[in-house]
Amino acid sequence: MHPLAIVGGVVLQMALGSIWYGPVMFKDAFALNAFGTTEDLKPSPSAMASIVVGPLISTPIFLFVMDVANAHTALLGLGWGILFGLMLFSTQLMHGLFEKRPIALQLIHQGFHAVGFALLGVLYGALS
């Protein structure tokens, strides 16, 4: 796996996050379900750091799995991305339910990850 693939994956996920959680898509729904308000909230420095650290950890793991699975086409990348998204959703759903988080918030978060991994899989598969 090429280091540029990791950098590209991190940038892709950061760009998707700015769209997904921004005014174009789910900003108000996210804020309302997470914080009970749609006012502009300033994220903490640790939250901002997680925007980079999370993808720096998850991207190489996902790309490694794609390499091991010999998933070197856009279609196979899409499939693996969807599978990773479903895996994350199923493991995180139980926590959200026990914590009584709104299902809408869980769908926003896990939808972001599913779409992010699907796009990353398509990109990596197409370029492999």
Confidence (pLDDT) at 47: 87
Mean pLDDT value of segment 104-124: 95
* Burial class of 84 by CB neighbour count within 10 A (0 to 12, 13 to 18, 19+): buried
At 5 the pLDDT is 87
Domain ranges, ordered by start, for the chain: 3-127
How far apart CA 109 and CA 101 sit, in angstroms, is 12
What pLDDT shows up at residue 59? 95
Name the pTM for this structure. 0.90
Token code pair at residue 64: 């490694």
- Give the tens place of pLDDT for each residue, 30-84: 999 999 988 877 888 898 899 999 999 999 999 999 999 999 999 999 999 999 9
